[in-house]
Amino acid sequence: MSPLPRLSLFGALRRRRNGSKTSAPPMNIPSTSTPSASTPVSGTPSAQPLFASLRVTNTYPSVCLHCPKRVANEAARSLHVQNSALCRKAEETAFKEAMARRAQARADGEELDLHREGRACIQQAPTVSDRARKRVRTDDAPRHTPTANPPPVPVPDVTVSQSPNDRDASGVYAPASAQLAHPETQPQSQPSNTNVPSSPQSSRGWTDPATGYFIEPFPDPSAGEPISDDVLPPIDVEAYMRASGELGQPSHFEMAELLLTSGMSNKDKNRHLKSVLYRGHVPWNNSDKLFDDIDRLRHGPTWHIFDINVPHDTNPRVQYIVMRDIEHVVRDIMAHPGFKDDMVYAPIKIWTSPEKKERVYGDMWTADWWWKMQIRLRQKFGPATLVPLIIATDQTKLSTMCGGQKAYPVYVTVGNIGKDGRRKPSQRATVLLGYLPVDAFEDIEDDNERRRMKADLIHRSMETMLRPLQQAAETGIEMWCADGRLRRVYPMVAAYIADWPEQNLMACTSEGSCPVCVTKQKGRGDLNQETTMRDRDETLRAIRAYFDYKSKLELGELRLKPVWPWWASLPNTNFSTCLTPDLLHQLYQGIFKSHLVRWIQYLVGIKKLDSRFIATTQAAGMTHFGKGISRVQQWTGRESKEMLKQFLPLVVGDLEPELATLVTSAVEFIYRAHGSTMTDTDIRELDETLETFHRLKDLMVKKKFYGSSAHFDRIPKIHMLKHYSHSIRQLGTPDGYSTEAPEHLHIEYAKDPWRASNKVRLLPQMITYIQRMEAVRIHRSMMNQWLVLNGKLPALRPNVEDGCEVEDGREATTDEYEDEETAEVVRRIESTVRSTAGVTQSSGGVAGSGKGARKVKGIRGVGVAGGEVSGLKSAAEADTYYPEPRRQMAKNPTRPNLRVKDVIDDYGASDLKSAVADFLNRRFEVPRYNAILSENHRINVWHRLYLHHPTPPFAPLDPPRRDVVRASPTSLDPAGRTRKAGVWDVAMYLEKPNRIRECYLIPHLPPRLRPFHFSSPTRLPLEQVRPLADLSYLGSSVNDTEKRGIHRYRAGRVRAFFTLPHGLSRYYPGQLAYVEVFLPFNAGSSPTHGLHSTSWDLTSNGARRTLVLPVTDIVFSCHLSPKFHLLPRDLKLSAQTDLYAISQHFWFNQYYSHYMYQLLRHWRQLVSVAASRLVSLADLGAGVHPLCLSETRRERQRASMRKDVSGGNRAKASWTHWDFNTPGERSSTPHPPAHGTSYSISSIQLVST
């Protein structure tokens, strides 16, 4: 059977297992040059690389070294030694003796080298006198094949006959040759293909119960299958630690790790080692001794420095390239045991249903490129495992001083690892391959010749780095993989991550063209211009013709440069297909920063736009630009993302409908392209959004921002958007290939090593620093395992959030209450009572404490930590997903025993007393005379509520989301000046209506646009619908009056979190929230820009309506942006302006976070599906027609509206809103929905007659 992958694409997907009961023992770690099938396998530390996230357990029988007791494994032996006083004392004595012997051996000049290749394992560049003899030329660079590596050195294996007396002078076990570990592999009765489903129809696919998607495996069962039954044995952690010398002692390594990772200079390290604190506690008296021990630890693949001869008639020169063997690097990644659960070895196809009508794209193995390449491999080689290589390059400045030094790192990773792991630097899935030479060739006067020489230098260097792939992609390489199995892999370049200049540099194309398709600059900005994708053979023939015959004709037609590309010698590499979308530079820094912001500054005004960014309402996790955006000096991708979150609501009210649609289409495209998974429908909608943008972009010409439409031809980023859909189908969604990941790696692999150097002859110093940091990480992993085996707590470094969206991680870095001890807020089922409104409510309380997540039974029976959310087992079991977060607050109140009067004055809770009385009376039927809250009562007050959202089922690769709702007053310094302004966030709470007040929308279109014509609103009686239609798709029964989508919630500004005083807490002991309430959101979002709106809910005397509710009713935080166009014109805006107090009308900002955007989109899609199903019903009765909302009629209406903006008349649709409680009232909106904008229905509700 084919070893189908465990899909990390959808977090809940798991491998199905076959009927075999055998399980492979834990794997060992292969060496830097992982042995092939014929190479002996050893457990020696000197022959095995170690990894930071390694989790290995010794399962071999073991014997206590101090008594005859035999135990099951090494962990049991460690437990026995701990429980036995005599054995424990003997173990401690033996360890001290070993350390003493080692110290004596070091004093006598004897050293134990754990690395067979010496100190730094770097081939230094040859000196001037030795170049003629030692220089390695580019054309004869040595190939590092597995067979060329020396066999690994055997390691002593702990056997029964060994005792403390068997140690040598250095304290290391010295067994006889017969006791050395033999290269034994662990045979299995049969290959264990843990990915293969157990059903007989597994070869044809199965429906995954966790997502409802249909999984189609690759038809060839040998794809990704191991070539042998051998399994690598686990590494001997005890032997490794005994052979680690002084660094094998935890206290010594702790100090060494601190010194090496603190960023201090060598001079400061020496000062520390010679200080009183360190003297006598560490075995090193200077940093050189420390580095000697670090250099003998295990690290990754070896570094090499090669010469690159740059020929020239008058100015020949020599450049240096620093690199590792890519074959060894790939071996390390593929054998990394930390990727065992994330490694995929064969492609699949994912469909939304078994009918296979709509594909789902996510990771690389779900797209078309891997599937097609696997077919080629099957035709040529039979059983094969494809390793798609993802290469990223990005030149970076090391400093603006010191001569403006630069580095050009090259990173590599494999597509077998999921994108959620690849984009996390802490996972070490993307590693440094080498540095390209950087030379400006300033002494070359001719500009064309200088550009040619720079490009040729880069291509020849890349060719040298990737030369081992020429043979490996054709014949394959035997590699041990993360699951401990041996496979024949075929590494091929699949994707290349680079910005626009580097894409053209590597593709040998001019920047006036396109590296993906054959197009000319004239007409490049037109979406309808027909272009063809670049062909590899055609490109190479044109370049070859230039070198052979000096013919520039074909070069000119294809817009190519006369440089022989590095990828020409790599088989099965079509570089135009390898280029991936660049979310950072093309969307955030390109479309938004360079164009959209400039357009709005021109239309609205720079000062007006700045003032709105300054005065806009704030929300947790969203950056506030207190000086506007025009004065931002360091405008990075993070700033662009933060501006985009709040951009559209600030400006949409001042724009004409078509201009608002243009801006909305650009923002929508950016957010849609950011999706972690996309279906065929999503890709089609992405293209429709792009069509809307191109159809309306000429409005900027009419507004005289551009002189003519030809200016769009000079904006390559706009042209590149048309290739997104093709790239998604070929390689997966763009979020797996963003240039943000390599730019983040610059800190670890370029900036920090440069700072640690003396800024002279950088590269050898930088790679030495990188190698030492690598060794420290590996040793820390092994040290933690050894501590666990010995029953001690490992010294874990704090978790660093990476790979998540900025809005998810930023609040954690600036959270002043992050270190406070939190307690979980849960709903208590036993305290539920029936309210007067006929709605079941529940009280809340604090259960347990601590920072970690705990499994807590919620009101719906399943805790979030248990893997189910709100009782929703899968996306297929319910149409609509509603969040049910895990709520946490500080265990201790921020301000305990605060008088009610102070809460009213400091927090602005002016109506707190009456709101509490109303809450107790409404929910618990407490008479008002028993619910009196005095101003002298003392209550506990909290300032923050944390809402932890798990990954939603409709976006399974998105990171978990943490919302923060803040309610803190203004704090003053002793002088009475404002130290910190008060902040009261807006949150969404669950509203449970007690009457039917839903509305539905019916579009009134001209008769030519719909077959059914009716002039009055149509109601659907339940008696006619129920026997004819299955209404299960509405999300609940037809008698359920609960609202749908966003209308299930209302917004409220939280003023205070508190608990009732002692006299009233018997009614409700949990935390409460005092909120100022907004009206329900409008029935439908705007057809122009898709934003919902709301206003303050006012009482009859004009005061804001307030409410007290349990914090368990709060579901997520949100951002409401004021409608600036409705504010008084003479209002002066500043950072101190509280627009919640001034403005009455607000937009609901759905772009506040990607989580919010995906949730709103999910609800709208489900309502659209429900509407289309109602449309498909036949005539429901006399005079009753189906709702005119089918996809066919929407397309007809779009087609009628698709006329040129300046051309003919537009068909106008009137959207009428009826409230069932006031059937006589209605309001219509004359604006037609914009092209590319799906109709948004708030809900579908049937009238009971």
Cβ–Cβ under 8 Å, residues 723 and 577: no
> 1020 and 955: one domain?
no
* Domain final residue pick, 1126, 1142, 1157: 1157
Range ranked top by mean pLDDT from 378-387, 632-641, 818-827, 937-946: 937-946
Q: How far apart are CA 1125 and CA 466, in angstroms?
A: 58
Q: Is 929 a domain residue?
A: yes
The answer to whether residue 756 scores a pLDDT higher than 80 is: yes
pLDDT tens per residue, range 446-491: 888 899 999 999 999 999 999 999 999 999 999 999 999 999 999 9
Q: Confidence class of residue 400 from pLDDT cuts 50, 70 and 90?
A: low
Same domain as 1224, residue 1076: no
Residue 476: closest CA among 36, 865, 14, 869: 36
The pLDDT of residue 1172 is 58
- pLDDT of the residue at 187: 39
Indicate whether 195 pLDDT > 60.
Answer: no
Minimum mean pLDDT range among 397-406, 891-900, 1194-1203: 1194-1203
pLDDT in the model for residue 691: 96
Look at residue 190 in the predicted model and tell me its pLDDT. 37
CA distance 674 to 694: 20
User: 650 and 700, same structural domain?
Assistant: yes
Query: Quick one: 1021 and 1056 in the same domain?
Result: no
pLDDT computed for residue 75 by the predictor: 65
pLDDT band at 793 (very low <50, low <70, confident <90, very high): confident
Instruction: Name the residue range of residue 625's domain.
Output: 583-736
* C-beta of residue 367 within 8 angstroms of C-beta of residue 731: yes
How does pLDDT run across 695-715, given as a tens digit for each residue? Answer: 999 999 999 999 999 999 999
Interval 490-541: pLDDT, tens: 999 999 999 999 999 999 999 989 999 999 888 899 998 888 999 999 999 9
Q: Contacts from 277-282 at CB under 8 Å and sequence distance 24+?
A: 281/251, 281/255, 282/252, 282/255, 282/256
Please, what's the b/e burial string for 847-869 (b: 16 or more CB within 10 A of its CB; e: otherwise)?
Answer: eeeeeeebebebbeebbbeeebb
Mean pLDDT along residues 805-809: 37
Token couple for 206: 């199965």
Together in a domain, 1094 and 1200? no
Structural domain total, the chain: 3
Cβ within 8 Å of residue 152, ≥6 positions away: 31, 35, 39, 40, 41, 42, 44, 46, 47, 48
Q: Which residue has the higher pLDDT, 20 or 523?
A: 523
| 718 compared with 426, residue with greater pLDDT | 718
Structure confidence at residue 829 (pLDDT): 32
pLDDT in tens, 1112-1160: 999 999 999 999 999 998 899 999 899 999 999 999 999 999 999 999 9
Residues 6+ apart with CB under 8 A from 1173: 1029, 1033
Q: DSSP class of residue 1065?
A: T
- 1182 and 1126 in a single domain? The answer is no
Per the domain annotation, does 1046 fall within a domain?
A: yes
Domain presence at residue 706: yes
Q: Which of residues 169 and 1147 earns the better pLDDT score?
A: 1147
Q: What is the mean pLDDT of the chain?
A: 74
Average pLDDT over residues 211-229: 90
Strand 1120-1122 relative to strand 983-984, pairing: unpaired
Question: Of the ranges 811-820, 930-939, 1204-1213, which one carries the lowest mean pLDDT score?
Answer: 1204-1213
**Token pair listed for 708:** 């003519």
How far apart, in whole angstroms, are the C-alpha atoms of residue 500 and residue 505?
A: 9
* pLDDT confidence of residue 110: 52
**Residue 1201 pLDDT greater than 80, yes or no:** no
Does residue 87 form part of some domain? no
**Final residue belonging to a domain, choices 736, 764, 780:** 736
CA pair distance 108, 102, nearest whole angstrom: 10
Residues 1179 and 1090 in one domain: no
Q: Name the β-bridge partners of 1218.
A: 1226
* pLDDT given at position 1018: 39
Residue 977 and residue 1034 in one domain: no
Q: In the listed set 736, 771, 795, which residue is the last one of a domain according to the structure?
A: 736
The reported pLDDT for the residue numbered 1205 is 33
Eight-class DSSP state of 504: H
pLDDT digits (tens, 9 = 90+) for 276-294: 888 888 889 888 999 999 9
SS3 393: strand
629 and 695 co-located in one domain: yes
Residue 801: inside a domain:
no
Q: Are residues 1069 and 1213 in the same domain?
A: no
Q: How many alpha carbons lie under 13 Å from residue 837 in its C-beta half-sphere? A: 14
Q: Give per-residue pLDDT as tens, 572-616.
A: 899 999 999 999 999 999 999 999 999 999 999 999 999 999 999
pLDDT of residue 867: 31
pLDDT at 723: 96
Across 131-135, 814-818, 994-998, 1174-1178, the highest mean pLDDT is recorded for 1174-1178
The answer for residues whose C-beta is within 8 angstroms of residue 1040's C-beta and 6 or more apart is none
Exposure string over 94-130, b if 16+ CB within 10 A, otherwise e: beeebbebbeebbeeeeebebbeeeebbbeebeeeee
Considering the domain architecture, whether residues 1148 and 1183 belong to the same structural domain is answered as no
The reply to whether 1051 and 1035 lie within a common domain is no
Which 3-state string (H, E, C) describes 653-693? Answer: HHCCHHHHHHHHHHHHHHHHHCCCCEEHHHHHHHHHHHHHH
* Residue 837, domain member (yes or no): no
Helices (H) and strands (E) in the chain, counts: 34, 39
User: CB of 387 within 8 A of CB of 482?
Assistant: no
Let me know if residue 632 belongs to a domain: yes
- Summarised one tens digit per residue, pLDDT across range 1077-1116 is 999 998 878 888 999 999 999 999 989 999 999 999 999 9
Residue 891, judged by CB atoms within 10 A of its CB (0-12, 13-18, 19+), counts as middle
Instruction: Work out the pLDDT band at 66, boundaries 50, 70, 90.
Output: confident
Instruction: Please give the structure tokens belonging to residue 276.
Output: 């009183």
The pLDDT score that the predictor gives to residue 12 is 30
Q: Of 147-151, 297-301, 719-723, which has the strongest mean pLDDT?
A: 719-723
Per-residue pLDDT tens for 89-147? 887 787 777 677 766 666 665 544 433 333 333 333 333 334 333 333 333 333 333 33
pLDDT, one tens digit per residue, over 1031-1050 is: 333 333 333 456 788 999 99
Average pLDDT over every residue of 63-75: 70
| 3-state secondary structure (DSSP) of residue 838 | coil
pTM comes to: 0.75
**Is residue 912 in a domain?**
yes
Q: What are the tens digits of pLDDT across the range 880-911? A: 889 999 999 999 999 999 999 999 999 999 99
Question: Pick the residue with more confidence: 1039 or 736?
Answer: 736
High-pLDDT (> 70) share of the chain, %: 68
